[in-house]
Structure 1
């Protein structure tokens, strides 16, 4: 005769089997309903690992493989909490994620029980057991991850950049500040032009010392009028501002050349130069948007990505609604939206052709191909698209830009 514990084991089996699907659902809901959680790809990947490992551990608990007295937070969940602490994300956002995750999984599991257990009394007992067990799990794990968060936050705030980080955050929020006191806390003058950078290293490299050296070298090459401001954000990411005096003119080619001399371990996104306290925010916002484009498009090998590039700015806007951008790309490009090397070559040539005002000669010079080869590729691209070149012209250019910078995020899988 079946009992509530046996029925719950069956639900746990389904939970384990559908863990990847449910993890994706949770991460999507967290992004929509908890806007305080960081949305850059590295942190979203950590959130995915945390949610997935929590579901896996919960499934073990529901199947009786782990005594309730031995519940421990998964390593991925602890690491995600520590990274949120480094970013200064509110701990309430982390707790909300656990509460929301519990609510969503309970709702899903209750539907499973209703479908599996026809006896209403047994279904009620199974649901009650599920609820009790999930509360025990969330209570134990959330307490542990909050402890990890607090310990990491205290450690992080004692490092040399703690005051700078808090001051920078206040400036970026647009808080009213005492300008003289703020400049003293930062060791950096706000009443000038700034060039904002976001720097990051490859996952696991964690060498922000190399990132800091890169900032110093860039400042030297650009002839910066003072010491740059370098603020670590976590083990792999840092923000920086270069003091460029009274002019916003910057030769970004100098930065590309310098980075090309390195080993490719440090990647840089560059904002547009801005003046004064508002420019301090503006240039950083541009750099952060360019970094998001770089990471979404999986272009870590590119030396630097500049927000001054109008196609990067367009891609940053398109990245804010990836679902809508995917639909636009696929409806506009047809088979040309395929994620393949052949389609990529055609898209690259067609984008250059559009940007060069449909000049075969100018396009050939730009992409280093013979004029006849350009014409052949353009004709094939139009054929793959299934629409004349002049139809939905604006959507065409935006779709090609999205494919160039956002890559697999918007392309159709083969």
Structure 2
């Protein structure tokens, strides 16, 4: 904009005069702006060093704007205040949302323009010249705020990403120490991981199949863990530790007598988003520091079984389910387990629908104390149909089911949990 001339001075002279007058009040102006921002933006409330840093950031930015106005310097030739960058970093470290930082600059701009308007009103100049001068101040202030906002947001986001990575790494390292049994300072560990250790816990492993996973699943795991925590009536946020892009460990603070409903949890997983829908393996409730380790170990064993089983229709596995403990032991050496099952069950170990029905019926028969009536009721079948299947199972076995019954039942349990990985193809 060209200068508006009067007999006394140009618009540039007027702008320079107003900027100089404001600069003489820089300390009071910065204090007043800090009070305005900390009052209007609750996230910026603070004391001590962080409050002083807010003042230094304001002072540096206001001084830059006034310097640009007094000497007609374009924004790109100004150095950003180091205090402004450091303040953005501190907010990122404290988890203050970036929206609060952006709003601070907008409100600061508003406050400075109010002060500039008042100064223009005090200057003896024509209305047209004051309007032209104020228009220049508005333009320069807007350009500066737009320019500095982009830079402090970039600083904030970089620091937030770095800070979260360090925090996540510190939490993961401390959890590893707890699981290894090398952590002795419970209070320090709780402070780092943000989770209480002197309470009953329920450990979990959440994962998706690595194949086809193109992105980090942490947000999905966190959402699923939150829904599970609500189902468990947990009063605290779950601890979720990512292990890689496709798996995470979790702990829930629960009551000693909590009984997870696996069907409910299965339905909650669908709400976490997908595909892929997360799979979950649970330990059993355990108390204290040792319980934190124990329930996790159980969840890992349950995951191992679920991974071998690889059944998408069975996305939730609990270490407390009947037969899971035995299956977790047998899953440690699948080749040896497979050979033993083939020797024990013979043709009954074949991987097809017919033999699967026979194995399922015989296992239920054993679980119901070899009662045809009780088994028929459990399967909603006629008792004679159960008898026929048991006879067919004995034929496939090549011997009576009363011969080495314990081994047969154990092998059937392994087949039920470990699936095709231990069957005859």
- TM exceeding 0.5: yes
For residue 174 of structure 1, the aligned residue among 169, 181, 184 is 181
Q: Assess if the C-alpha contact under 8 Å between 1:259 and 1:304 holds in 2.
A: no
- Matched with 1:189 is 196
Distance 1:368 1:261, change over 3 A: farther
- Matched with 1:223 is 233
Distance 1:360 1:260, change over 3 A: farther
RMSD over aligned Cα, in angstroms?
A: 2.0
Match status 1:351 vs 2:363: yes
Q: Assess if the C-alpha contact under 8 Å between 2:283 and 2:318 holds in 1.
A: yes
- Matched with 1:103 is none
**What is the DSSP-based 3-state SS (H/G/I as helix, E as strand, rest coil) of the residue aligned with 1:211?**
helix
Question: Displacement, 1:378?
Answer: 1.1
**What is the DSSP-based 3-state SS (H/G/I as helix, E as strand, rest coil) of the residue aligned with 1:308?**
coil
Q: Assess if the C-alpha contact under 8 Å between 2:235 and 2:253 holds in 1.
A: yes
Residues 38-77 of structure 1: pairs in structure 2 closer than 5 A: none
Residues 252-267 of structure 1: pairs in structure 2 closer than 5 A: 252-253=261-262, 254-259=264-269, 265-267=277-279
For residue 397 of structure 2, the aligned residue among 361, 380, 385 is 385
Question: Displacement, 1:250?
Answer: 2.2
**What is the DSSP-based 3-state SS (H/G/I as helix, E as strand, rest coil) of the residue aligned with 1:310?**
coil
Match status 1:322 vs 2:320: no
- Structure number, greater radius of gyration: 2
Residues 246-257 of structure 1: pairs in structure 2 closer than 5 A: 247-253=256-262, 254-257=264-267
For residue 207 of structure 2, the aligned residue among 200, 206, 210 is 200
Q: Assess if the C-alpha contact under 8 Å between 1:332 and 1:392 holds in 2.
A: no
**What is the DSSP-based 3-state SS (H/G/I as helix, E as strand, rest coil) of the residue aligned with 2:224?**
helix
- Matched with 1:289 is 301
Distance 1:157 1:318, change over 3 A: farther
Q: Work out the CA distance in 2 between the residues paired with 1:300 and 1:234.
A: 21
Question: Displacement, 1:156?
Answer: 12
Task: List alignment gaps of at least 5 residues for structure 2.
Answer: 1-161
Question: Displacement, 1:354?
Answer: 0.8
For residue 222 of structure 2, the aligned residue among 187, 205, 212 is 212
- Matched with 1:361 is 373
Match status 1:234 vs 2:244: yes
**What is the DSSP-based 3-state SS (H/G/I as helix, E as strand, rest coil) of the residue aligned with 1:412?**
coil
Q: Work out the CA distance in 2 between the residues paired with 1:261 and 1:377.
A: 40
Question: Displacement, 1:251?
Answer: 3.2
Distance 1:388 1:228, change over 3 A: same
Task: List alignment gaps of at least 5 residues for structure 1.
Answer: 1-154
Q: What is the TM-score with the length of structure 2 in the denominator?
A: 0.58
- Matched with 2:354 is 342
Q: Assess if the C-alpha contact under 8 Å between 2:232 and 2:258 holds in 1.
A: no
Question: Displacement, 1:223?
Answer: 0.8
Q: What is the TM-score with the length of structure 1 in the denominator?
A: 0.59
For residue 421 of structure 2, the aligned residue among 392, 395, 409 is 409
Q: Assess if the C-alpha contact under 8 Å between 1:193 and 1:248 holds in 2.
A: no
- Matched with 1:162 is 169
Alignment coverage as a number of residue pairs:
258
- Matched with 1:278 is 290
Distance 1:175 1:268, change over 3 A: same
